[in-house]
């Protein structure tokens, strides 16, 4: 491509454009990932946010064409009692 002497700046410009693209891609992808992914039920349970964890678990089950067992909340309560006590 004969990128020497007078045209040497084109190499630097192309590298700068690539880096700007990486930066903008990271900003956009990072924001999209943070805004589209709900908190995990496991994390919510460790924070004692049981109602929110149950709601998200129910949504996950519905998206998978399943339903939570009727004793799901009782099992969580029991496990939390064992961890605390």
pLDDT tens by residue, 1-16? 677 788 888 889 999 9
Answer for the pair 11, 3: CB distance below 8 angstroms, yes or no. yes
Length of the chain: 85
E strand or H helix that includes residue 25 = helix 9-36
By three-state DSSP, how is residue 12 classified? helix
The whole-model pTM stands at 0.49
Predicted pLDDT at 84: 54
d(CA 66, CA 85): 32
Look up residue 66 and give its two tokens.
């399943």
Predicted pLDDT at 6: 84
Provide block-wise average pLDDT over 10 residues at a time, the chain (85 residues): 80 94 92 77 85 89 90 76 60
């Amino acid at each position: 491509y004969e990128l020497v002497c007078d045209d040497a700046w084109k190499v630097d410009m192309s590298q700068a454009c690539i880096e700007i693209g990486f930066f903008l891609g990271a900003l956009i992808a990072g924001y999209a990932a943070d805004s589209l992914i709900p908190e995990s039920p496991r994390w919510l349970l460790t924070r004692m946010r049981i109602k929110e964890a149950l709601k998200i678990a129910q949504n996950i089950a519905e998206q998978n064409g399943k339903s939570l067992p009727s004793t799901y909340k009782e099992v969580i309560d029991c496990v939390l009692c064992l961890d605390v006590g």
